[in-house]
Amino acid sequence: MAETTTEKPVTPDIELPRARYERRKTTRGNYELYSWVFMRASGVLLIVLIFGHLFVNLLVGDGVHAIDFAFVGGKWSSPFWQVWDLLMLWLAMLHGTNGVRTVINDYAERDGVRMTLKVLLYLAAVVTVVLGTLVIFTFTPCPTGEPADLLPAFCSA
Amino acid sequence: MPSAPAGTLYRGHEGMWSWVAHRVTGVLIFFFLLVHVLDTSLVRVSPEAYNDVIGTYKNPIMGLGEAGLVAAIVFHAFNGIRIILVDFWAKGPKYQKRMLWIALGLWVVAMAGFLPRHLMNVFGGN
């Protein structure tokens, strides 16, 4: 300050009272915070969804031996299992993709390698989620012209 | 800035090894998930195509693979609850080691419930 005189002492810069506290000033947003919260929230839901899925598909009845087209047709003719499997698909793919993204960020040090791996990861995730969603919603349990013994019992009823 | 040499142990003990196991099981489950969505998508091709491919899941080697997959999922699930407790429960960090042993104990109990039933289905000869 050029005009400072000995009569008027310089006052230090004091922040306005009650100014909003900012831990850090950045333009990057809170993406990593939301990702961290999502991993925990989706994780809890996935425990319920996947444990239920494993119990019904591997432990009830003949277990893995009972799984065939008729079994899937029977499950997906009910909106309950359609929603269950759709939720499981989306949450598991987002949870898994975000986890592998973290692993890639940790170990791929070269920018080009890291970028390439993440592009491949996101591509695989989008293809898998879109394919799975289409399959759940366009599935017909009783396709015409297929032998009846391969179809759910209710098809011939 | 020089990067840390490869292969350095972070700190060892329960904290590091549970973190390593969580990563390994997580990546494993992710790749199975990709394959599993693809094989299930065959229901849109034809009942025969789906039954052919799903039939490979029923041979004993795949049956053991499924047991390994379930073991990985159950560990990831229980250790995941431990991670959530470490993050959100005030005493979580203090009890993180004890919680790992509890998670492993619950893992043993869950697998003891699952394995006999599953292996009987796989090797039961039907």
- Residue A24 pLDDT > 80, yes or no? no
Domain that holds residue A62: 31-155
B59 to chain A, any CB pair closer than 8 A? The answer is no
- Domain B22-123 annotated CATH 3.30.70: no
What distance in Å separates residue A4's CA from the closest CA in chain B?
45
CATH of the domain at A137: 1.20.1300.10
A69 to chain B, any CB pair closer than 8 A? The answer is yes
Return all residues near A63 (Cβ < 8 A) that are at least 6 apart: A57, B117, B118, B121, B122
Q: What's the pLDDT band for A89 if we cut at 50, 70, 90?
A: very high
What integer pLDDT is reported at residue A147 of this predicted model? 81
What distance in Å separates residue B11's CA from the closest CA in chain A?
17
Percentage of chain A beyond pLDDT 90 is 53
Other beta carbons less than 10 A from residue B5's beta carbon: 6
- What are the sequence ranges of the domains in chain B? 22-123
Q: Which residues of A touch B44 (CB under 8 A)?
A: 134-135, 138-139
What integer pLDDT is reported at residue B55 of this predicted model? 86
What integer pLDDT is reported at residue A58 of this predicted model? 84
**A18 within some domain:** no
pLDDT in tens, A115-156: 999 999 999 999 999 999 999 999 888 888 778 888 888 887
pLDDT in tens, A39-70: 999 999 999 999 999 999 888 877 777 888 88
Instruction: Determine the average pLDDT of the residues in A18-45.
Output: 84
What integer pLDDT is reported at residue A3 of this predicted model? 53
**A147 within some domain:** yes
Computed over every residue of chain A, the mean pLDDT equals 87
As for the ipTM of the complex, it is 0.88
Alpha carbon distance B72, A81 (integer Å): 24
Report the chain B residue with the minimal C-alpha distance to residue A69.
B47
Q: How many separate domains does chain A show?
A: 1
Q: Which amino acid is at A42?
A: S
